[in-house]
Amino acid sequence: MTFNGSPPPFGRALCAMVTPFTVSGDALDLDRAGELAADLVAGGCDGLVLSGTTGESPTTSDAEKSALIRAVREAVGGTVPLVAGIGTADTAHTVELARLAEEAGADGLLVIPPYYSRPPQSAVEAHFRRVADTTGLPLALYDIPGRTGTRIEPDTMLRLAEHPRIVAVKDCAYDLMGSTKVIARSSLAYYSGCEELNLPLYAVGGAGFISTVANVAPGAVRAVLDAFDAGDTAEAARLNQRLLPLAELMMASGLPGTVTVKALLASGPVREPLQPADRETADGLRKAYEELLSA
């Protein structure tokens, strides 16, 4: 599927990749990161988002973020889009992370509104424009008010869409009406960041997804869009329903997706304040995962 007559800027099937740590959690496991990245691309991911929510960006250092980009770039080569999460509560720090990500080899930047301070929309817009003016990389705006406390309002999106380097949105706003409005009135590529909206958003003109569940089932998540693009909407709906039990356990069980992914993958511990899934939860996740693979 093309988006507005051209391919989406970062592909259509992206994984919000976890960040592997060593057993102690004190350091990155860069070898494992490279292995995971290569497996995800082989499994059907067009691109990877590093150091996002699922990548535990609040608890990784600036140096670790850069090292992760370099390790994954080496593992997947130069043709796979790598989008670096750089969002912080501080505009100056976000600008510095943008520069570091570009130097490390990122292809794009994922930027949230500044959190906690809850700036008005004029300040949110100024923040994004400042970051977009910092490097030559394209930006994806990350609209996730449930975590940041601040929405990127549709009218703000439409104004920001006029900037030549603001090209995409990761949509976790749970406002299909607002998202559809922006899709219709701009060239922004909308990526679903909520598993249950991957297919609905795609059906109204979205560009694809940035998926946490893709860490463990990249082919199954992508297959939904493949069926839709082939014109078989009934099959797309069936495949989407087949994913539901695992997606619900991973994303709506009261635990962050980072925790549930790492309960299924050999990618090291989570960093505090997160805590690992308990045995009962991990067993339930494995059962749902095995049932998906056997379906």
Chain segment 9-67, per-residue pLDDT in tens: 999 999 999 999 999 999 999 999 999 999 999 999 999 999 999 999 999 999 999 99
| Mean pLDDT, rounded, for 144-151 | 95
Residue 266's pLDDT is 86
| Mean pLDDT, rounded, for 118-141 | 98
| Mean pLDDT, rounded, for 110-136 | 97
| Mean pLDDT, rounded, for 116-135 | 97
| Mean pLDDT, rounded, for 115-128 | 96
Chain segment 149-195, per-residue pLDDT in tens: 999 999 999 999 999 999 999 999 999 999 999 999 999 999 999 99
CB 170 within 8 A of CB 210: yes
* Domains located in the chain, CATH noted: 13-294 (3.20.20.70)
Tell me the catalytic residues: 142, 170
Q: How confident is residue 255, by pLDDT bands cut at 50, 70 and 90?
A: very high
